[in-house]
Amino acid sequence: MTLLENISIILVRTKTPANIGAVARCMMNTGLSRLVLVQPKDHLSEDARKLAAGADRILESAQVFQSLAEAVAGHNLVVGTSGQAGKRWKNVRTARDMAGHVAPLLGSNRTAIVFGREVNGLEQQELALCHELIAIPSHHDFPSLNLSHAVMIVAYELFLASGAALARQAPELAPAGELETLYLRMQTTLARVGFLHSENTEHMMQSLRQLFGRASLESRDVRILQGILTEVERNIQGAGKP
């Protein structure tokens, strides 16, 4: 198994079958094989196969999900892509920087690279599921990239970086599902102690997600944090007793 086999390219609600086919071709060109689709449109249609230009097996083996949360659940690292990162994200990476960061982790960790809709990209609740973010800059006179072009830029950098990555034992990161469970519990507990309220919940939770995302948590780390939350909850309950 190669390092690239641990990478999934996830497309969210792609409206044009031809774009899905073109992405499959880009994946074949760069040694990627795992295509994951969230509510796709006709990904096995003639238009999709035509643009795949021989990469039909990637279309045929693609996994299909109804939500991004389901699609990323089995991955250890989830990387979103955006043309405009916005003010809420810090330490946004370029495709080259991200590839250099991800490649040494691929030996032990399944990594998802998530691409949004052709017109408006990923929504805020979808970006919240991502641990890291890639921004793909382009010329201000014509900034919009075709979906397959964006995929090719990222896939090419991953292809190069994976060849240069040292064959060393990388830490196994906590699966995305474990992190989501932690974040949901953390939000509830922090609200109970008064740290979160209606005006700051979304902003603070996004900041906490990014903080822990940069920390590259392993399952052991998640268990420690869950243990801390258990003690906090126990003390809250004890304080409420007469």
With 90 as the cut, is the pLDDT of residue 155 above it? Answer: yes
Rama region for 177: left / alpha / beta (φ>0; ψ in -120 to 50; rest): alpha
Q: Is there a contact between 40 and 194 (Cβ–Cβ < 8 Å)?
A: no
112-129 tens-digit pLDDT: 999 999 988 999 899 989
Average pLDDT over residues 3-20: 95
133 and 113 within one domain = yes
Tokens of 165: 């990555």
Same domain for 183 and 149?
no
Q: Let me know whether 94 and 213 are in one domain.
A: no
**CB under 8 A, 24+ apart: contacts of 234-239:** 236/189, 236/192, 236/193
191 and 101 together in one domain = no
Within 10 angstroms of residue 44's Cβ, the number of other Cβ atoms is 15
Tell whether the model's pLDDT for residue 97 goes beyond 90: yes
pLDDT tens by residue, 56-90: 999 999 999 999 999 999 999 999 998 765 556 77
Range with the poorest average pLDDT among 6-10, 83-87, 140-144, 235-239: 83-87
CB 128 within 8 A of CB 209: yes
The whole-number pLDDT of residue 237 equals 83
Total number of domains constituting the chain? 2
The pLDDT score that the predictor gives to residue 85 is 58
Inter-residue contact 17 to 42 (CB < 8 Å): yes
Q: Which of 191, 186, 178 is nearest to 228 (CA)?
A: 186
User: The domain that contains 181 carries what CATH number?
Assistant: 1.10.8.590
Residues 135 and 228 in one domain: no
Radius of gyration for the chain, computed over Cα atoms and rounded to the nearest angstrom: 19
Mean pLDDT of the chain: 89
Find the distance separating the first CA and the last CA of the chain, reported in whole Å. Answer: 60
Enter the tokens of residue 204: 């603070």
pLDDT of 184-234, one tens digit each? 999 999 999 999 988 889 889 988 998 898 888 888 999 999 999 999 998
Mark whether 91 and 210 lie in a shared domain.
no
Residue 26 — pLDDT band, cuts 50, 70, 90? very high
Hey, what's the torsion of the CAs at 76, 132, 106, 68, to 10 degrees? 50
Residue by residue, DSSP assigns 157-200 as HHHHHHHHS----PPPBPPHHHHHHHHHHHHHHHHHTTS--TTT
Residue 169 lies in a domain: no
Using the 8-state DSSP alphabet, how is residue 93 labeled? B
**pLDDT surpasses 90 at 108:** no
Give the residue numbers spanning the domain of 30: 3-164
Q: Is-contact 88 135, C-beta < 8 A?
A: no
Q: What is the pLDDT of residues 39-51, one digit of tens each?
A: 999 999 999 999 9
Q: Which residue has the higher pLDDT, 103 or 38?
A: 38
Place of tokens 């929504």: 123
Q: Are 92 and 122 members of one domain?
A: yes
pLDDT band at 98 (very low <50, low <70, confident <90, very high): very high
CATH of the domain at 21: 3.40.1280.10
- Does a structural domain hold residue 197? yes
Residue 113, in any domain of the structure: yes
Rounded average pLDDT over 5-34 = 96
Does one domain contain both 209 and 134? no
Cα 172 from Cα 139, distance rounded (Å): 38
